[in-house]
């Protein structure tokens, strides 16, 4: 669901996942990283930037938050 929302937001700005230059992933439990990474790899592709991953316990009920920065080419 999070990546669908991100994709819609990118499209509204006339960019796509291929234009992503920076990825931040916040996880309530860093043991979830492998699952999140496989989804990111599938959506962002092989040329995606390496994500910064942060484990945090201050996310309330959320288990993952993803933030991206993209640049129009």
Distances (CA, A) of 64 to 2, 22, 28, 49, 56: 9, 17, 6, 18, 10
Task: Give mean pLDDT, residues 23-46.
Answer: 96
pTM: 0.90
Share of the chain above pLDDT 70, in %: 100
43-66 mean pLDDT: 93
* pLDDT at position 26: 97
Task: Return d(Cα 71, Cα 32) in angstroms, integer.
Answer: 28
């Amino acid at each position: 669901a999070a990546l669908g929302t991100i994709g819609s937001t990118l499209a509204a700005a006339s960019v796509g996942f291929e234009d992503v230059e920076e990825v931040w992933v916040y996880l309530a439990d860093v043991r979830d990283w492998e699952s999140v990474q496989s989804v990111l790899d599938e959506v962002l592709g092989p040329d995606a930037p390496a994500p910064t991953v942060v484990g945090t316990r201050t996310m309330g009920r959320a288990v993952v938050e993803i933030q991206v920065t993209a640049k129009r080419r």
